[in-house]
């Protein structure tokens, strides 16, 4: 099974989790790169505003071809209660290349349900596994347990599909 983890990370949390998942699944990593300056207070407000308006922006071409993978795991921070703009842009541009999707979000404490739903609507398929990690989870140190469950659900789903 070839697995690619596609993520965007402004301050490193989504990347950290992507790296943990990659080790557990032997997956490859692909970071989404855009050309917006998202640093500092101005970058914070620009990013929040873009996310609120559900904007789609140009992103750099991926190094890997998502269509070559059996599963794409997408990771995004939640911005203004929404998908981060680089990840919305990735999903819109590459949706036809996504055979199977697993999805996770990182946030301070928002309800992730509408973000899960938007990802599902864009790719027109239900993710095989979902996870939302909040800062409270990280503070309480139970985020690694959550990653274990996420990975277990993914493996279980792939196993079931293979035995059909």
Ligand X SMILES: Cc1cc2nc3c(=O)[nH]c(=O)nc-3n(C[C@H](O)[C@H](O)[C@H](O)COP(=O)(O)O)c2cc1C
Residue numbers at the binding site for ligand X (CB under 6 A): 9-15, 44, 47-48, 77-81, 106-110
Question: What number of other Cβ atoms are within 10 A of residue 70's Cβ?
Answer: 13
Antiparallel, parallel or unpaired: β 130-134 and 101-107: parallel
Q: Judged by CB, which is closer to ligand X: 96, or 117?
A: 117
Q: Judged by CB, which is closer to ligand X: 51, or 154?
A: 51
DSSP one-letter string for 25-54 = HT-EEEE--BS----HHHHHHHHHHHHHTT
CB of residue 51 vs ligand X: minimum separation in angstroms?
6
Q: Cβ contacts of residue 44 below 8 Å, gap of 6+? A: 38
CB of residue 53 vs ligand X: minimum separation in angstroms?
12
- Is residue 74 within a helix (H) or strand (E), and if so which, with residue range? strand 71-79
Q: Judged by CB, which is closer to ligand X: 9, or 89?
A: 9
CB of residue 32 vs ligand X: minimum separation in angstroms?
11
CB of residue 161 vs ligand X: minimum separation in angstroms?
30
* Terminal-residue alpha carbon distance, the chain: 16
Q: Write phi, then psi, for 140 (nearest 5 degrees).
A: -80, 0
CB of residue 103 vs ligand X: minimum separation in angstroms?
14
Category of 14 on φ-ψ map: left (φ > 0), alpha (ψ -120 to 50) or beta: alpha
Adjacent-strand bridge partners of 147:
none
Q: Judged by CB, which is closer to ligand X: 114, or 124?
A: 114
Q: Judged by CB, which is closer to ligand X: 106, or 128?
A: 106
């Amino acid at each position: 099974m070839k697995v690619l983890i596609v993520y965007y990370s402004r301050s490193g949390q989504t990347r950290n989790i992507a790296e943990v998942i990659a080790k557990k699944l032997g997956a490859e990593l692909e970071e989404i790169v855009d050309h917006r300056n998202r640093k500092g207070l101005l970058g914070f407000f620009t990013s929040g505003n873009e996310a609120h308006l559900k904007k789609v922006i140009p992103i750099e071409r991926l190094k890997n071809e998502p269509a070559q993978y059996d599963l794409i795991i997408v990771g995004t921070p939640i911005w203004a209660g929404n998908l981060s703009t680089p990840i919305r842009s990735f999903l819109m541009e590459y949706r036809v290349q996504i055979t199977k999707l697993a999805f996770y979000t990182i946030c301070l404490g928002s309800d992730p349900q509408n973000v899960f739903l938007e990802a599902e609507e864009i790719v027109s398929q239900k993710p095989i596994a979902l996870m939302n990690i909040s800062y409270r989870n990280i503070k309480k140190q139970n985020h690694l347990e959550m990653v274990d469950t996420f990975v277990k659900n993914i493996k279980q789903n792939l196993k079931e599909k293979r035995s059909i």
